[in-house]
Structure 1
Amino acid sequence: MRRFFIDPSEISKGTPVIEGQDAYHIAGVLRLKPKDHIILVDGTGFEYKAEILSSSKNQVAVSIVEKYAALTESPIGIHVCQGYLKDKKMEMLIRHLTEIGITRWTPVISERSIPQADKKPNPSRIERWHVIAREAVKQCRRTRVPEITPLTPFQQAVTNSADMDLKIIFYENATVPFSRSIAPDGHPITQILVIFGPEGGFSNREIEFARSNGFLVASLGPRILKAETASIAACTLIQHIFGDMG
């Protein structure tokens, strides 16, 4: 069955209504009709089997047949703070990391972030990231859309981490690989914060600041990876070790 997003507030209504582009896609492109079934995703972890009651290219009314919690969400929360990259790379990362299962995405401004113009808040860019994340959630059949937060200075990203079970900053000059740096101490790990650098990496001052705030400083091995490759590789590794991948 086809999957569509719906605002959670619509679910509480007797007859939820789908509008906009999704309504057009249901009625005008797929040509679904009354009594056909679709899957609705509310973005908070639940899916709904719904029966179409009426449909037009502007509005589709449905009846909820069944509600269930999906099994496609990871048991861990991965909070990614990404040193700012060029737009296309940031968009690519949001798409792929959403598929991997991250739960929060924070663009970070560090000493070597480029270009300078991208350090300014840009509401249209943030909105585009939301659209990309939602598209990726549809594609990989997740039920939660990652939270996307505003541009954040590096120091703030580091200090706003008290509620994390594990905090990691990846650094190409670190001497210990990540998989050997996580010594189990008995406490459960369900919330993980990971910070990745921009193309120019982190300065020594930034690394020491993170270390002094309880971050593990780890590498991904002997090869130097591109910034975007490192983010994807590390999140995959984290899901494999602590989550539900592999």
Structure 2
Amino acid sequence: MTAPVFVVDDLGAPEGTGTPGDPRAAAGAPAGGPRYVLEGPEGRHAVSVRRLRPGEEVVLTDGAGHWAACVVLDTEGRDRLVLGRGPVLAEPAPEPRLTVVQALPKGDRGERAVETMTETGVDAIVPWSATRCITQWKGERGVKALGKWRATAREAGKQSRRVRFPEVTEAMTGKQVAALLARAELAVVLHEDPGHPGEPLATTALPTSGDIVVVVGPEGSLTPEELDLFGEAGARVCRLGRTVLRTSTAGTAAAALLLGRTGRWS
């Protein structure tokens, strides 16, 4: 089983590059490296929930691509884990970068979408208040909802052993989404319409670098005005398959398809 991941605020400057899981990247002797004490909520989870013991391996990360392989040396009380820390390494940013623009779903489906997209490997998630969204983020409700999405991305990043967590941006308007699409190497709008089926995402030509941006509309579909706006920004209308997915699952399905085709899952 791969080593569990814990988040710390600052690991210091990286000393090289590497990816967790690659034995060459984690080479060294963490048990004889600098002493590091993991405390606070992360330390409490490691000691009292995970019940880690001396000799077990963990990974520390700042969630921004910096990480260090560590070995448990000892525990202190119920919330302090004493580690031997290996060198701090930087995981290279993946190419191409994948962003999903997610229309706001009802209830907790948004958090489920963020969770599964994070586990799949999406690099950025953009909440979007589409015209036909039943849920709208306004005032304190919007601040709270965005905080939940960001917390979900952090926890899902840890669970899936990522050291570079996805960015969850502020909610965007349709015009802001169009500007994002205009800058992308490949811009895609997932749209289900028997009269205008679009091209299969499974055969769409993909870039090897730059940004891929995928728009997932609301349950009530996109409006003609939104389709025109995104089309003028250079987006291509695509479909996933013959079945119709919920807005909370379409982004994950598209991400899996694209990441497999780009080679990032190799």
The separation in 2 between residues aligned to 1:2 and 1:84, in whole angstroms, is: 31
Map 1:88-103 onto structure 2 (within 5 A): 88-103=108-123
The separation in 2 between residues aligned to 1:29 and 1:155, in whole angstroms, is: 45
Instruction: Please state whether the residue corresponding to 2:86 is helix, strand or coil.
Output: strand
Please name the residue that 1:55 is paired with: 76
Please name the residue that 1:65 is paired with: 86
Q: Is the 8 A contact 1:24 1:56 kept in 2?
A: no
* Residue 252 of structure 2 corresponds to residue 235 of structure 1: no
1:119/1:199 CA distance change after superposition, 3 Å? farther
Q: Is the 8 A contact 1:107 1:152 kept in 2?
A: yes
Over aligned residue pairs, what C-alpha RMSD do you find? Answer: 2.7
Q: Is the 8 A contact 1:181 1:218 kept in 2?
A: no
* Residue 235 of structure 2 corresponds to residue 215 of structure 1: yes
Cα-to-partner distance string for 1:1-45 (whole Å, 9 max, x where unaligned): 4321112x2446x75442322111233344446676432122122
Cα-to-partner distance string for 1:156-211 (whole Å, 9 max, x where unaligned): 11113443211111111232333376346xx6444111111011110111101110
Give the drift of 1:241.
1.8
1:24 to 38, 41, 44: 44
Structure 1 residue runs of 5 or longer lacking an equivalent are none
1:110/1:31 CA distance change after superposition, 3 Å? closer
Q: Is the 8 A contact 1:181 1:216 kept in 2?
A: no
Please name the residue that 1:175 is paired with: 197
The separation in 1 between residues aligned to 2:146 and 2:126, in whole angstroms, is: 10
The separation in 1 between residues aligned to 2:79 and 2:245, in whole angstroms, is: 47
Report sequence identity in percent.
Answer: 26
1:137 to 157, 160, 173: 157
Q: Is the 8 A contact 2:47 2:75 kept in 1?
A: no
* Residue 99 of structure 2 corresponds to residue 79 of structure 1: yes
Please name the residue that 1:4 is paired with: 6
Instruction: Please state whether the residue corresponding to 2:242 is helix, strand or coil.
Output: coil
1:126 to 135, 146, 154: 146
1:227/1:26 CA distance change after superposition, 3 Å? closer
The separation in 2 between residues aligned to 1:179 and 1:237, in whole angstroms, is: 8
Map 1:190-209 onto structure 2 (within 5 A): 190-209=210-229
Please name the residue that 2:19 is paired with: none
Which moves more between the two structures, 76-85 or 159-168? 159-168
Matching residue's letter, 1:211: G
The separation in 2 between residues aligned to 1:108 and 1:243, in whole angstroms, is: 28
Give the drift of 1:240.
1.9
Give the drift of 1:127.
2.0
Give the drift of 1:65.
2.2
Instruction: Please state whether the residue corresponding to 2:87 is helix, strand or coil.
Output: strand
The separation in 1 between residues aligned to 2:55 and 2:249, in whole angstroms, is: 46
Structure 2 residue runs of 5 or longer lacking an equivalent are 14-33
Which moves more between the two structures, 20-29 or 134-143? 20-29
Please name the residue that 1:244 is paired with: 264
The separation in 2 between residues aligned to 1:45 and 1:54, in whole angstroms, is: 27
1:35/1:214 CA distance change after superposition, 3 Å? same
The separation in 1 between residues aligned to 2:223 and 2:238, in whole angstroms, is: 15
1:69/1:206 CA distance change after superposition, 3 Å? same
Which moves more between the two structures, 60-69 or 156-165? 60-69
**TM-score with structure 2 length normalisation?**
0.78
